[in-house]
Amino acid sequence: MSCIDKYNYEILFRGSFKECAKFIRENCKNIKEVNPGEEVIEGVMLIGIPPIPVGYEEDCIIIPYTKPCYGTFVLKVKIEEEKDKKESKENKENEDKKDKKGILSKLKFW
């Protein structure tokens, strides 16, 4: 569960899992519901009471994230993978030819 640390995230809310799920449902326009244990982004699996709401915007996702011994938080995670940065450096001359992928292509549940 420590893989969330490799992403750039912001804590929006802290509370019980139920309160965090309610926060996401009330504050996000785009929501996808997933099952516990699903990997939403590389290395990050969610635990909680199903269905787990996941909000998404153009460059980030909003998830309820539970860390044992710390509690549950609503995290806003920016989607910038190191793989994409490395690929763009290696293939800089072919950048115009490639289609740019949106956030939905990086999400595991989509």
What confidence category does residue 3 fall into, taking pLDDT thresholds of 50, 70 and 90? confident
Question: What residues pair up with 15 in beta bridges, in sequence order?
Answer: 72
Domain boundaries, the chain: 2-82+99-106
Residue 50 three-state SS: coil
Distance, CA of 79 to chain centre: 7
| Structure letter (DSSP) for residue 99 | P
- Under the banding of pLDDT at 50, 70 and 90, the label for residue 93 is very low
Task: Tokens 């420590």: give the residue.
Answer: 2
pLDDT at 28 over 90: yes
In the chain, pLDDT over 90 holds for what percent of residues? 52
pLDDT value for 90: 52
Average of per-residue pLDDT across 66-89:
75
